[in-house]
Amino acid sequence: MLDVRLAFVTANEATCAMHELQVLDDLAETRELKESERLRHAELERMRDAVIHPQTHEAIFAPLRLSTVVPMNMILDAVMLSAWTPMQTIFAQWLNQSYNALHYHANRNTTNEESFSQRVMAYLAATASSVGVALFLTSGRFPQLRKFAPFCAVAAADTFNLSIMRKSEFLRGIDVFDAASGDHVGTSRRAGLMATGSCIVARVAAAFPILVGSPLIMDALEGPIARHAPFLRVPVMLCTVGLMIQLAVPVTFGLFHQQMTVSTSLLEPTLHTRAERVFFNKGL
C-alpha cells in the first residue's frame, strides 16, 4: 500500500480492478485458481486496498492515499525541521496540520460521520496545539528541547485532532463484523475507543523516529557539512528524513493494521454471544 506507483491509479482503473476481482472471486468458488490468476488476484487486491476506501468504496484522492505517505511527509517533515523563526514555525505547523486533516478525513471510519463543525473544531485544536507547543519549545527557554519541537507539536496535535474528530466512535460506537463470516454483529463503543487510541499511538510512533531520529543524525553531520559542503545541508536533510520515513512508516503500519481484529471478551457483554472474534476498520 506504500508503493508510490499506486498513487497514479485512476478511479476508473480502480473500479475496473474491483469488477475483475469479483469475477476471480466468483471463479474461485467453482474451481481452484491457476497460478497466474492467483497472482493477478493478489495484484488487484493490492490496488483495491491502496485506492478504494473500505467502507465508502470510493477512490481516495491520490495525494491522500497511503501510497503518497512517504513523499508527502518527506516534504512536510523537512519543512518543520528547517523552521527556526516564529513565522516559519507557524507556517510549517499549519501546513502539516492542514494536510493531516485532509488525510484523516479521506481515510476515516465512516460508521459515524463527523459534522462540519466537528471537523473544523478538530482542525483548529490540532493546529493551535501544534503551533503553541512548537513556539513554546523554540522560544529559547528550553534550548536542549528545541530540536524535538516538531515531534512534540505533532504528538500533541495528533492527540487533539483524532480525539475530537473521532469522538463519535467511542461515544456512539462503530460497526463490528464477525471475523469468521464477515457478518455485521453490532456496534461497539469500546471498539471505537480502541480504534481511536490505536490510531493516536500509531501516529505518534510513526513520527518518533522521523522527527527525533532525523535531528539527531543531522546534529552529528552538521559540523562536517558546514565545514566542507554547506550547500548539501538541505539535500542531506531530505535524504535523512526520507530514509527515516521509509524505515518508520512500513513498520508502524505493519504493527497497526487499518483493520483490527479482537476478541469479543474485550467488548460490550451484549456482543459476547454473537461472535468469538470480530474485526472493524480503525482508520488511519
pLDDT of residue 111: 65
How confident is the model at residue 112, as a pLDDT? 63
pLDDT for 94-112, tens place per residue? 999 899 888 878 877 676 6
Yes or no: say if 4 and 70 are a contact pair by the CB < 8 Å rule. Answer: yes
**Do residues 187 and 175 make contact, with C-beta atoms less than 8 angstroms apart?**
yes
Q: pLDDT grade, residue 247 (50/70/90)? A: confident
pLDDT interval class at 2 (50, 70, 90): low
Contact predicate 32/38, CB 8 Å:
no
Residue pLDDT, tens place only, 192-205: 999 989 889 988 98
Show the cell assigned to 164.
475530537
* Average pLDDT estimate for 218-246: 81
Q: What percent of the chain lies above the pLDDT cut of 70?
A: 96
> pLDDT value at position 255?
81
Q: What is the pLDDT of residue 188?
A: 92
- Domain extent listing, the chain: 4-51, 64-281
Residue 36, exposed/middle/buried by CB under 10 A (0-12, 13-18, 19+)? exposed
**pLDDT (tens digit, 9 = 90+) per residue, 23-36?**
888 888 888 878 88
177 pLDDT higher than 90: yes
CA distance 189 to 210: 32
**Is 80 within 8 Å of 151 (Cβ atoms)?**
no
Q: What is the pLDDT of residues 143-173, one digit of tens each?
A: 777 888 888 898 988 888 788 877 878 888 8
Computed from CA positions of residues 156, 256, 190, 282, in that sequence, does the dihedral angle turn out positive or negative?
A: positive
Reply yes or no on whether the pLDDT at 18 is more than 70: yes
Would you state the pLDDT for residue 263?
92
On whether the CB atoms of residues 195 and 278 are closer than 8 A, the answer is no
Residue 90 pLDDT exceeds 90: yes
pTM of the complete model: 0.70
User: Which of these, 237, 180, 188, lies nearest to 213 by C-alpha position?
Assistant: 237
- Render 225-282 in DSSP notation, one character per residue: HHHH-GGGHHHHHHHHHHHHHHHHHHHHHHHS-SEEEEEGGGS-GGGTTT-SEEEEE-
- The pLDDT tens digits for 46-88 are 888 788 887 777 888 888 887 887 888 888 888 888 888 889 9
